[in-house]
Amino acid sequence: MDHALLALEDGTVFEGRSFGARQQRFGEVVFNTSLTGYQEVFTDPSYTGQIVTLTNPEIGNYGANNADCESARPYIEGLVVREFAEVASNWRSEESANEFLTRHGIPVIAEVDTRKLVRKLRMGGVLRGVIAAGDVDPQELIDRARRSPSMAGLDLATKVSTGQAYDWNESVAPCSPSERIGAQAGGQYKVIAYDFGIKRNILRRLTHAGCKVTVVPAGTSAEDVMAQKPDGVFLSNGPGDPEPLEFQAAQVRKLIGKVPVFGICLGHQILGLAMGAKTFKLKFGHRGGNHPVLNRRTNKVEITAQNHGFAVDADSLKDSEVELTHINLNDDTVEGLRHRSHPVFCVQYHPEAAPGPHDSHYLFQDFINLMQDSKRS
| Contacting positions for other proteins (CB under 8 A) | 31, 33-37, 39-40, 55-58, 61-62, 65, 67-68, 82-83, 85, 87-92, 111, 113-116, 118-119, 122, 174-180, 288-292, 294, 299-301, 303, 329-330, 353-358
Instruction: Give 124 or 257: the residue with its C-beta nearer to other proteins.
Output: 124
- Are 41 and 34 within 8 A, CB to CB? yes
Choosing from 286, 308, 342, 350, the catalytic residue is 350
CA distance 72 to 199: 10
Choosing from 69, 211, 265, 346, the catalytic residue is 265
Choosing from 28, 70, 302, 352, the catalytic residue is 352
Nearest to 322 by CA among 295, 340, 335, 307: 340
Peptide bond into 355 cis (omega under 30): yes
CA distance 31 to 162: 27
- Residues 6+ positions from 84 with CB-CB distance below 8 Å: 17, 19, 59, 60, 97, 98, 108, 110, 111
Instruction: Give 91 or 229: the residue with its C-beta nearer to other proteins.
Output: 91
CA distance 70 to 204: 10
Instruction: Provide the minimum distance between the beta carbon of 245 and other proteins in the complex, in angstroms, as a whole number.
Output: 28
Instruction: Provide the minimum distance between the beta carbon of 111 and other proteins in the complex, in angstroms, as a whole number.
Output: 8
CA distance 305 to 163: 28
Instruction: Give 353 or 371: the residue with its C-beta nearer to other proteins.
Output: 353
Asked about 350 being catalytic, the answer comes back as: yes
- Are 68 and 94 within 8 A, CB to CB? no
Instruction: Give 3 or 104: the residue with its C-beta nearer to other proteins.
Output: 3
How many other C-beta atoms are found inside a 10 Å radius of the C-beta of residue 159?
A: 16
Instruction: Give 24 or 93: the residue with its C-beta nearer to other proteins.
Output: 93
Instruction: State how beta strands 78-80 and 107-110 pair.
Output: parallel
Instruction: Look up residue 317 and give its DSSP letter.
Output: G
Instruction: Give 273 or 327: the residue with its C-beta nearer to other proteins.
Output: 327
CA distance 315 to 318: 6
Instruction: Provide the minimum distance between the beta carbon of 58 and other proteins in the complex, in angstroms, as a whole number.
Output: 6
- Are 304 and 350 within 8 A, CB to CB? yes
Instruction: Give 56 or 374: the residue with its C-beta nearer to other proteins.
Output: 56
Instruction: Provide the minimum distance between the beta carbon of 190 and other proteins in the complex, in angstroms, as a whole number.
Output: 29
Q: What DSSP assignment string belongs to 110-171?
A: ES--HHHHHHHHHHH--EEEEEEESS--HHHHHHHHHHSPPSTT---HHHHS-SS-EEE---
Instruction: Provide the minimum distance between the beta carbon of 211 and other proteins in the complex, in angstroms, as a whole number.
Output: 21
Apex 265 CA angle, 263 and 266, nearest 5: 85
Instruction: Provide the minimum distance between the beta carbon of 65 and other proteins in the complex, in angstroms, as a whole number.
Output: 8
Asked about 352 being catalytic, the answer comes back as: yes
Instruction: Provide the minimum distance between the beta carbon of 301 and other proteins in the complex, in angstroms, as a whole number.
Output: 4
- Are 60 and 82 within 8 A, CB to CB? no
Asked about 170 being catalytic, the answer comes back as: no
Catalytic residues, by residue number, are 265, 350, 352
